[in-house]
């Protein structure tokens, strides 16, 4: 048996050595994490097993069903890729969940239709836009108070067509000795959004908020934890951060790449 995970693939070239050993028949079982779910083509693999397949379904993210379905269909494709028939065994505590059921049936169109119905009903992308606001501070009471201040400001200056979720702790609520709280904004059309978010960024430049870190993320791809890249960016560029959309445009004021403090001596506002 060959084990393939983050601990066994730390060294350079470890991935290739393990996969070459398995492909050459030196082991009959390849045990690993999600890294073995896609992109592998071994003609002699006839059985794929997935343990705790519904773990990701319990994550507080509206994409959890999509990602579970995607993972299961990808890993199922590792079996029976040549002349031999393949079999897939999925361990789950919730076999009736639609993501598990459609993955079992390999029904992509059925999953899409069902998932889009849920997203339309609950006002999630692609029918609505989302903005994620994450506030971080070493003092939890302070970041909770500031989160509610931001929420109150948003409610006051945005229309009643906007839906708010939070503020709540992020599922992984503390990293790097900081407590993280988040607010999610859902909207279709909102004329005051850009100006309001700029004012929220201005709040972080007040003296009492000098240690408060704030991220505004347009269409966040992960609601469960603060990505390392996100933390690194706010560590480098100051305590206020603007994220860009997929086209590379900043979410709010295009005169600033990251924040609005206007201090040319700080890396966040250098030209």
* Residues of the chain scoring pLDDT < 50: 228-271
pTM given for the model = 0.74
Q: 34 and 68 in contact (C-beta within 8 Å)?
A: no
Helices (H) and strands (E) in the chain, counts: 7, 9
Q: What pLDDT is recorded for position 225?
A: 57
Q: In b/e form, how buried is each residue of 55-81, taking b as 16+ CB within 10 angstroms? A: ebbebebbbbbbebbbbbbbbbbbbbe
What was the pLDDT predicted at 257? Answer: 36
pLDDT at 78: 77
pLDDT of residue 265: 39
């Amino acid at each position: 048996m060959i084990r393939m995970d983050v601990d066994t693939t730390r060294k350079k070239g470890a991935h290739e050595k393990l996969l070459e050993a398995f492909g050459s028949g030196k082991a009959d079982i390849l045990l690993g994490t999600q890294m073995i779910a896609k992109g592998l083509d071994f003609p002699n693999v006839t059985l794929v097993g997935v343990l705790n397949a519904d773990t990701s379904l319990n994550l507080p993210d509206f994409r959890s069903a999509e990602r579970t379905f995607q993972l299961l269909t990808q890993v199922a494709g590792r079996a029976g890729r040549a002349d031999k028939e393949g079999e897939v065994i999925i361990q789950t505590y919730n076999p009736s969940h639609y993501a598990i059921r459609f993955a079992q049936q390999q029904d992509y169109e059925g999953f899409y239709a069902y998932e889009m119905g849920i997203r339309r009903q609950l006002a999630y992308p692609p029918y609505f836009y989302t903005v994620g606001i994450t506030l971080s501070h070493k003092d939890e009471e302070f970041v909770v108070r500031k989160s509610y201040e931001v929420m109150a400001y948003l409610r006051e200056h945005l229309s009643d067509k906007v839906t708010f979720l939070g503020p709540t702790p992020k599922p992984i609520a503390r990293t790097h000795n900081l407590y993280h709280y988040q607010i999610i904004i859902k909207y279709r059309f909102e004329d005051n959004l850009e100006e309001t978010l700029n004012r929220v960024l201005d709040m972080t430049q007040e003296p009492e908020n000098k240690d408060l870190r704030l991220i505004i993320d347009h269409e966040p791809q992960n609601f469960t934890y603060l990505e390392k890249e996100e933390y690194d960016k706010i560590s480098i560029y100051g305590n206020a951060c603007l994220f860009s959309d997929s086209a590379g445009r900043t979410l709010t004021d295009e005169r600033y790449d990251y924040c609005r403090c206007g201090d040319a001596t700080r890396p966040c506002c250098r030209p």
